[in-house]
Amino acid sequence: MVDQFIETWRINNRVNLMLLDEISAEGLNVTFSKRGGGTPAKQFAHIHNVRYWKLEKLKKELAQKQGKIDRSDELCHELLRIRLLKSAEAVADLLKEGYENEGLIEGYRRGVYTLMGYLIAHEAHHRSNMIQTLKQCGHKLSRSFTINIWDWNKI
């Protein structure tokens, strides 16, 4: 069961990476916000940073290997991919440890299942925001992408 549990988390991250791969360099920085926020690049950075902040609170040694993405960092495909891959594996380590500890994670009273549910819901929310931003800014996503993100048997 632990393998299925962790694989669920990893599939979620692969969907993030599929979306990242689908977005052009120009598309990473589109927004319909008058304040310049909400770009796909900034939302991917936010996803990584939330993972980092959870790790920092719950398992500092896993967070130390990550580092947060700073506002001054150039948010390109390569940086985002590397950070999302590393933070996803660190979260997988935390989740596996919690699973093997009867579902308990020190510092998170609701347990490992709730933590994973929170993280996946948070990331799905931001993927949806990115997709909406891209559509409204004229960056169409391929039909194969919009179909394939739901085929978790193949992801």
Read off the pLDDT of residues 92-117 as tens digits, 9 standing for 90 and up.
Answer: 999 999 999 999 999 999 999 999 99
Q: What is the largest CA-CA distance in the chain?
A: 47
Beta strands in 54-117 (DSSP E): none
Q: Where are the domains of the chain?
A: 2-148
**36, pLDDT greater than 80:** no
Question: DSSP label at 28?
Answer: G
Q: Which CATH superfamily is domain 2-148 in?
A: dinb family like domain (1.20.120.450)
Sequence-distant (6+) residues with CB within 8 A of 155 are 11, 14, 15, 18, 148, 149
pTM here?
A: 0.95
SS3 140: coil
Question: DSSP label at 22?
Answer: H
Average pLDDT over the chain reads 95
Read off the pLDDT of residues 115-126 as tens digits, 9 standing for 90 and up.
Answer: 999 999 999 999
The helix (H) or strand (E) run that includes residue 116 is helix 112-136
Read off the pLDDT of residues 40-89 as tens digits, 9 standing for 90 and up.
Answer: 999 999 999 999 999 999 999 999 988 899 988 999 999 999 999 999 99
